[in-house]
Amino acid sequence: MTTDLDELNALIRERSAFVDRIENELEKVIVGQKMLIERLMTGLLTGGHVLIQGVPGLAKTLTVSSLADCINLDFQRIQFTPDLLPADLIGTMVFDQKDREFVPRKGPVFTNVLLADEINRAPAKVQSALLEAMQEKQVTIGETSYELPEPFLVLATQNPIEQEGTYPLPEAQVDRFMLKTQVGYPTKDEERTIMERMTQSTDPIELDQVAEPRQLLEAQETIRDVYIDDKLKDYILDIIFATRNPGDYGLSELDDFIEYGASPRASIYLNLTARAHAFIQRRGYVQPEDIKAVAHDVLRHRVILTYVAEAEEYTSERIIDRILETIEVP
């Protein structure tokens, strides 16, 4: 086993080298936001979609587009608006005057990285069309289904402070996102750097392509081989089940605050993202710290609160904190 693990560690060091190159390249245009970059990399490395929540002006869109540029991926951005139609996203059939027949015109969803800006501004039909593509990795136009390219990743943003004219995603649809990442304000030093950088030069910064899609697909395969001990699998299950039956884990005070616990997708995604976190750290095995590092992003949109919790301003963040504090680490 030791020999196998040594070989796996060597393979991971080789196949994860491009992660450092990407992070160094992004530093040319992005100041701070290390957590956001790491979570976006986690989504890319696992093939999982990411929902990014933060107020305007925090470089969410710039980070996503820059990441796509670094990996030589096709990138499309859609600004979601209330008048958007499903056909604007997935495409439609158009009449070819020359051949006198209907032919498919593929929409912007046929790309590697799709940025759905302010996803909660589009009506339910558009949201459903996108989420179907996320789940099935294919789109039906007319009577024909078309496979989406590999890799395919949806990175969606939403603004938490403005709800007028929005269509909040139902919980079942939010559950399709592997991670929900909160983007915070920069520090004072970071903001000074941003201010100076953006007011001194108007020349766009060119990013080099430092990785290929092939390397990303190889990394996705390698992550599936990252070792996770059975005790850590039980640890993951304890965390998930504590969101459903907190009283069974000495957390009876949370009973009044949790309407619904995390779905089975949570245990799958917590396992996968912990492996990806270990991969980014150049390790061939998962540690408890890997699970804790990604737990909030996997669970914050899967723990549904009661009215009592909302009335007492008890957030899902606090619930996850309590569970991680209480569940014994193996």
Domain ranges of the chain: 2-197, 226-326
Helix axes 213-223, 34-46, angle to 10 degrees: 80
pLDDT at residue 266, as a whole number: 93
Tokens 């560690």 -> residue: 9
Rounded average pLDDT over 134-161: 83
215-271 pLDDT per residue, tens: 888 888 889 889 999 999 999 999 999 999 998 988 898 888 998 899 899 999 999
pLDDT confidence bin for 326, thresholds 50/70/90: very high
Helical H runs in 245-303?
264-280, 288-299
- Stretch among 87-91, 101-105, 166-170, 242-246 having the lowest mean pLDDT: 166-170
**Short-list 274, 276, 266, 273, CA closest to 290:** 274
pLDDT at residue 157, as a whole number: 86
4-28 pLDDT per residue, tens: 777 888 888 888 888 888 888 888 8
Rounded average pLDDT over 150-177: 77
82 preceded by a cis bond (ω within 30 of 0): no
Residue type present at position 196: E
- Span 2-197 CATH architecture: 3-Layer(aba) Sandwich (3.40)
pLDDT at residue 165, as a whole number: 58
Tokens 């990138």 -> residue: 75
24-74 pLDDT per residue, tens: 888 888 887 788 888 988 998 898 899 988 777 777 888 888 888 888 888
- How many helices (H) and strands (E) are present in the chain, helices listed first? 14, 11
Q: What is the mean pLDDT of the chain?
A: 85
Question: How far is 162 from 193, CA to CA, in rounded Å?
Answer: 28
pLDDT at residue 1, as a whole number: 40
pTM of the model: 0.86
SS3 78: strand
pLDDT at residue 96, as a whole number: 75
The answer to whether 2-197 and 226-326 have equal CATH topology is no
Residues forming a β-bridge with 93:
104
pLDDT at residue 35, as a whole number: 86
Rounded average pLDDT over 284-292: 93
Say which residue, 296 or 201, is predicted with more confidence.
Answer: 296
Residues forming a β-bridge with 92:
105
pLDDT at residue 2, as a whole number: 43
Residue 172 in this model has a pLDDT that exceeds 90: no
pLDDT at residue 243, as a whole number: 94
Sign of the dihedral through C-alpha 242, 224, 155, 13: positive
Instruction: Let me know if 304 is exposed, middle or buried by CB neighbors in 10 A (0-12, 13-18, 19+).
Output: middle
Backbone angles phi, psi at 98, to 5 degrees: -65, -50
**Which CATH fold would you assign to the domain 226-326?**
Helicase, Ruva Protein; domain 3 (1.10.8)
Residue 207 in this model has a pLDDT that exceeds 70: yes
